[in-house]
Amino acid sequence: MFIDEAKIEFTAGKGGDGAVHFRREKFIPKGGPDGGNGGRGGDVWFETVNNIHTLSDFRNKKEFKAEPGKPGGQKLQTGRSGEDLVIRVPQGTIIREQETGRVLADLTELNQKVKLAQGGIGGKGNAGFVNSVRQAPAFAEKGDIGEHFAVELELKLVADVALVGYPSVGKSTFISVVSNAKPKVAEYHFTTLVPNLGVCQFDERELVFVDVPGLIEGASEGKGLGHQFLRHIERARMVLQLVDVNSDTPLKDFEIIRKELESFSPELAAKPFVPVLCKIDTVDEALQNFVAQEFEAKFEVKPFLISAATHTGMDTLLKHLVHEIPEERTYEIAEEDQNKAVEFRPGEHDDSRHVKIEKKENWWGLTNTRLLQIGRQTDWENAEGQERVYDVLRKWGIVKELEKMGAEPGDQLRIGEEFLEYRG
Ligand SMILES: Nc1nc2c(ncn2[C@@H]2O[C@H](COP(=O)(O)OP(=O)(O)OP(=O)(O)O)[C@@H](O)[C@H]2O)c(=O)[nH]1
Ligand SMILES: [Mg+2]
């Protein structure tokens, strides 16, 4: 089934917890701390692969999680890192954050791989908390949570040439003649219900064609199959507009399709296009030439004449396409997406020690990326663990700052979901 939209969520692995452990040695009741660090949680990646062509895999599976890191062990042993998770998608997949619409990645290349969610760091074991005043720490950090995203996947097929025209003009026949694709071809309208890709080898070049369902007048209002598949033409570098030479109104047919493209997207309508009069085997040469001349007189562009059935004119047309389409493939991000596209790096932290302090009704709110992370990693049940957070506040100068702002001993300090008492 051809599916080109999906909503999914993914979460990178949680970091492993640090260990609390003390060396056991003969005759020494309690040796030095040797609890190791937890391992990192696995990251979540997206990768485009050539054997997936739709987003149908995401109809049933909507939640993805990378493996958590393992806890630290004794003798300073670091826990094993969690395995990364790779989510495989078709070439042309755009990944947008649901809430903001921000584009996290636009995967136009084949075998393109990007990391989108960073695994949580492992917690430090108690051995890591030894200092001059703390000889035998009996606390460790928990692993941090992995990044989480709720996203919208949108597939926009990536092709060089898009075939558009009325139903039954021979779009699928064309693609089956020039490429290895074997789409269904039939006399009736709307034979093609979903887009097909076909790869054509010509003059030592490779051209990717996309065949979309036929358009009719009023497609913009939802007539026929409507516009729902036109997004798959947006990335094509050239539009091949097919008109049946044997139509009663070939010129009007051409204009109607242009209008439909225009009403879907002016950008799409502005793409370079090649007009093609097709099925020339069905009329005599005099009529072919007559229609071609009328066409050129009206639109000031010379149409190509072809018959996919007898292959007449196909080589000339393909030569033209190969000549017009640069070998180097560059795909533009649609303008609407461009505005939202930011350089996205997962796990990006604001390393600054500037802590936002807010006075609330009953507590003081403390906000800073690293401080919140320390909060998530703290074992709040453990008094020594709590104490270490207070040490951090002291070291960063926040205790002093609070004093200046009028905090009184006994006030509550809030870090994320947790509270800590201010003692001055
Ligand atoms: N005589 C002749 N018939 C053709 C030619 N190309 C296609 N046909 C016939 O036209 C009919 C429609 O062809 P399709 O390739 O299915 O047309 P389509 O544009 O893909 O149609 P939809 O998928 O419905 O939009 C079929 O019966 C084809 O055999 C041609 O060059 N000459
Ligand atoms: Mg078709």
Q: How far apart are the first and last CA of the chain?
A: 65
Q: How far is the CA of 228 from the centre of ligand 2 (A)?
A: 15
Q: How far is CA 316 from CA 207, 234, 272, in A?
A: 15, 25, 18
In terms of domains, do 406 and 321 share one?
Answer: no
pLDDT given at position 343: 54
pLDDT given at position 225: 81
CATH, residue 275: 3.40.50.300
In terms of domains, do 44 and 145 share one?
Answer: yes
| pLDDT for residue 140 is more than 90 | yes
In terms of domains, do 11 and 137 share one?
Answer: yes
Q: Is residue 343 part of a domain?
A: no
Strand-pairing partners, residue 210, are 162, 197
Express each pLDDT in 41-98 by its tens digit.
Answer: 999 999 999 999 899 999 999 999 999 999 999 999 999 999 999 999 999 999 999 9
HEC string of the chain equals CCCCEEEEEEECCCCCCCCCCECCECCECCCCECCCCCCCCCCEEEEECCCCCCCHHHCCCCEEECCCCCCCCCCCCCCCCCCCEEEEECCCEEEEECCCCCEEEEECCCCCEEEEECCCCCCCCHHHHCCCCCCCCCCCCCCCCCCEEEEEEEECCCCCEEEEECCCCCHHHHHHHHCCCCCCCCCCCCCCCCCEEEEEEECCEEEEEEECCCCCCCHHHCCCCCCCCHHHHCCCCEEEEEEECCCCCHHHHHHHHHHHHHHHCHHHHCCCEEEEEECHHHCCHHHHHHHHHHHHHHHCCCCEECCCCCCCCHHHHHHHHHHHCCCCCCCCCCHHHHHHCCCCCCCCCCCCCCCEEEECCCEEEEECHHHHHHHHHCCCCCHHHHHHHHHHHHHCCHHHHHHHCCCCCCCEEEECCEEEECCC
When the pLDDT of each residue in the chain is averaged and rounded to a whole number, the result is: 91
| pLDDT for residue 226 is more than 80 | no
- Cβ neighbors of 311 (< 8 A, separation 6 or more) are 177
Q: Give the tokens for residue 56.
A: 């149908």
| Choice between 225 and 163, residue whose per-residue pLDDT is larger | 163
In terms of domains, do 167 and 57 share one?
Answer: no
Domain count, the chain: 3
* Final residue of a structural domain among 155, 182, 202: 155
Strand-pairing partners, residue 84, are none
CATH, residue 407: 3.30.300
In terms of domains, do 300 and 319 share one?
Answer: yes
Which among 164, 174, 175, 185 is the best mutation to test ligand 1's pocket, defined by most ligand atoms within 8 Å of the CB? 185
Ligand 1 atom closest to the CA of 308, numbered from 1? 31
In terms of domains, do 280 and 386 share one?
Answer: no
| Choice between 331 and 103, residue whose per-residue pLDDT is larger | 103
Q: How far is the CA of 100 from the centre of ligand 2 (A)?
A: 37
Express each pLDDT in 363-375 by its tens digit.
Answer: 999 999 999 999 9
In terms of domains, do 132 and 228 share one?
Answer: no
In sign, the C-alpha dihedral spanning 208, 212, 217, 219 is negative
pLDDT given at position 371: 93
Residues with beta carbon < 5 A to ion ligand 2?
A: 171-172, 191-192
- Cβ neighbors of 132 (< 8 A, separation 6 or more) are none
* Final residue of a structural domain among 106, 135, 155: 155
In terms of domains, do 2 and 131 share one?
Answer: yes
Q: How far is the CA of 168 from the centre of ligand 1 (A)?
A: 5
Nearest 5°: the CA angle 117, 119, 120 is 130
pLDDT given at position 132: 86
Which of the ligands is closest to the CA of residue 164?
Answer: 1
In terms of domains, do 78 and 171 share one?
Answer: no
Q: How far is the CA of 192 from the centre of ligand 1 (A)?
A: 11
In terms of domains, do 133 and 254 share one?
Answer: no
* Final residue of a structural domain among 155, 173, 191: 155
Q: How far is the CA of 251 from the centre of ligand 1 (A)?
A: 19
Q: Is residue 341 part of a domain?
A: no
pLDDT given at position 347: 67
Which of the ligands is closest to the CA of residue 277?
Answer: 1
Q: Is residue 31 part of a domain?
A: yes
pLDDT classification of 341: cutoffs 50, 70, 90: very low
CATH, residue 7: 2.70.210.12
CA 348 to chain centre: 18
| pLDDT for residue 129 is more than 60 | yes
pLDDT classification of 342: cutoffs 50, 70, 90: very low
pLDDT classification of 31: cutoffs 50, 70, 90: confident
In terms of domains, do 256 and 238 share one?
Answer: yes
| Choice between 85 and 334, residue whose per-residue pLDDT is larger | 85
pLDDT given at position 339: 44
| Choice between 270 and 339, residue whose per-residue pLDDT is larger | 270
Q: Residues in the chain, how many?
A: 424
Q: How far is the CA of 319 from the centre of ligand 1 (A)?
A: 22
Q: Is residue 81 part of a domain?
A: yes
In terms of domains, do 148 and 166 share one?
Answer: no
Q: Is residue 46 part of a domain?
A: yes
Q: Is residue 16 part of a domain?
A: yes
Q: Is residue 338 part of a domain?
A: no
For residue 235, what are the domain limits? Answer: 161-329
Ligand 1, CB within 6 Å, residue ranges: 167-173, 185-187, 189-192, 213-214, 278-279, 281-282, 307-309
Ligand 1 atom closest to the CA of 176, numbered from 1? 15
Q: How far is CA 342 from CA 101, 106, 249, 290, in A?
A: 11, 11, 47, 52
pLDDT given at position 184: 87
pLDDT classification of 354: cutoffs 50, 70, 90: confident
Q: Is residue 383 part of a domain?
A: yes
pLDDT classification of 221: cutoffs 50, 70, 90: confident
Which of the ligands is closest to the CA of residue 171?
Answer: 1
Residue minimizing CA distance to atom 13 of ligand 1: 170
* Percent of the chain topping pLDDT 70: 94
Q: How far apart are CA 258 and CA 212, in angstroms?
A: 15
Q: How far is the CA of 313 from the centre of ligand 2 (A)?
A: 20
| pLDDT for residue 232 is more than 70 | yes
**What does the pLDDT average to over 150-176?**
95
Express each pLDDT in 281-316 by its tens digit.
Answer: 999 999 999 999 999 999 999 999 999 999 999 999
